[in-house]
Every structure is written in C-alpha cells, then in structure tokens.
C-alpha cells in the first residue's frame, strides 16, 4: 500500500500549486513515502526532474521515529488505542517536507489513540504542536512569548495556511535553541 500520491501529482502541487512553495530552491525537493511491505515505511527524496536524492537528515529522523509509531499494535495504551493510520503519516510527511531544513530543530512524534499523530517542538516559552488525525487533517497550536497565539485547522491535503504560519515560527524556535547557552 503506498503512503503518498504518485510523483507527478506531487510535482504538480509543489511546483505549480498555488498554496505553497517548495522548501529548497532550485530545483524543488520532493518527498514521498512508500511502504514496501505491509508495515515498513520508506521515505524517498526526488528533485523536480524525478531524480532521486539522498534523504535530508530530518527525513531520516522522521522515518525512524514514524516507523516506531507505525509498528505499534492495536491497544498500545492497554485500552482502545488504534494503530497509527497511513493517512496521518502521509500528512505529517507532507507538512514537514515544506517546513523542515537541515538546521531546523527536530520534532518529537507521538501516537494518538484514534490513529493520529502529534508532532511537537518545545523550546523554553515557545511551543509548537500539530495534531494530525487519522484522516490526515491537521490542527496547529503555537504559543510563543511576545507573539499572539496561533491556531490553524485545515483538512487533509490543504496545508497551505498551516505551513504559512508554521514556517516562520519554526525558524524563530530554531534560533532560540541555537542561541541558548
């Protein structure tokens, strides 16, 4: 079962889509994930021509962390928790592909009992949490001293507004971490 839409469709959104810009220029860098077996997550990185590139370090980290979540069984909380849903994983990758750079502080990943995933960054008085539900919708909460609280709620596949808010917030959070003694 593939985790991501096929590459041409992804190319269309990244290069010509009205909602968001590719992370790196030029050429656009794309990430797609594909499950080679029922439970294995494998991320692959392509440029705008379809040539495969090495995975960025943040994507290697994401692959490792998300694999651990994908491997959780039903009832991992001893009660009703469901296995992490493929659409949640896809949504996480799609958002991170548009905001992460090699220097960005790595996020932390947590399973949710309804099959979703929560992705978080915490640095002093700066907190960023994104809840992805099992259908791939995303909800961002960002609290930062000196800035208004940010809340963005978007359906699956329509992450433009969320990315617009998230990208500068992560940039400031990364600066806060690198500046810390």
Partner 1 sequence: MTAGEQPPPSRPADDDPRITDTEALCRRLSDSSPNMLVRDEVSGERRPSSAAFKPDADGISVYRLDVLTGSGLGPADLCTRDAQLVVTVQTADVRSQGLGVRPDPWPLDVDDPGHPRHAAHALIIGFATLSRGERRRRQQSLTRCTSLRFVHGLLSD
Closer CB to partner 1, 31 or 112, in the complex = 112
Q: How far is the CB of 6 from partner 1 (least distance, A)?
A: 31
Provide long-range contacts, Cβ within 8 A and 24+ apart, for 136-143: 136/85, 136/87, 136/88, 136/90, 136/91, 137/91, 138/91, 138/95, 138/162, 140/165, 140/166, 142/166, 142/169
DSSP string, 90-142: HHHHHHHHHH--TTSPPPEEEE-TTS-EEEEEEETTEEEEEEE-TTS-EEEEE
Q: Which residue in this structure is represented by tokens 């810390």?
A: 180
Binding mask 136-155 for partner 1 (x = CB under 8 A): ---x-x---------x-x--
Under rule CB under 8 A, which residues in 91-130 are in contact with partner 1?
105, 108, 110-114, 118, 120-124, 127, 129
Closest CA to 174 of 124, 112, 115, 119: 124
Q: How far is the CB of 106 from partner 1 (least distance, A)?
A: 9
Closer CB to partner 1, 114 or 164, in the complex = 114
Q: Does residue number 39 form part of the binding site for partner 1 (CB under 8 A)?
A: no
Q: How far is the CB of 59 from partner 1 (least distance, A)?
A: 19
Site of interaction with partner 1 (CB under 8 A): 68-69, 72, 75-76, 78-80, 105, 108, 110-114, 118, 120-124, 127, 129, 131, 139, 141, 151, 153, 176-177, 180
């Amino acid at each position: 079962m593939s985790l991501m839409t096929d590459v041409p469709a992804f190319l269309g959104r990244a290069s010509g889509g009205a909602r968001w810009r590719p992370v790196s220029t030029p050429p656009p860098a794309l990430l797609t994930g594909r499950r080679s077996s029922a439970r294995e997550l494998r991320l692959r990185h392509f440029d705008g021509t379809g040539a495969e590139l090495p995975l960025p370090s943040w994507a290697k980290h994401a692959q490792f962390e998300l694999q651990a979540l994908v491997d959780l069984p039903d009832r991992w909380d001893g009660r009703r928790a469901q296995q992490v849903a493929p659409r949640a994983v896809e949504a996480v990758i799609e958002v991170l592909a548009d905001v992460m750079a090699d220097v960005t502080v790595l996020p932390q990943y947590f399973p949710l009992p309804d099959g979703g995933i929560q992705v978080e960054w915490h640095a002093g008085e700066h907190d960023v949490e994104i809840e992805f539900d099992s259908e791939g919708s995303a909800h961002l909460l960002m609290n930062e001293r000196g800035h208004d609280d940010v809340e963005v709620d978007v359906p699956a596949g329509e992450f433009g507004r969320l990315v617009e808010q998230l990208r500068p917030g992560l940039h400031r959070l990364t600066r806060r971490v690198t500046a810390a003694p």
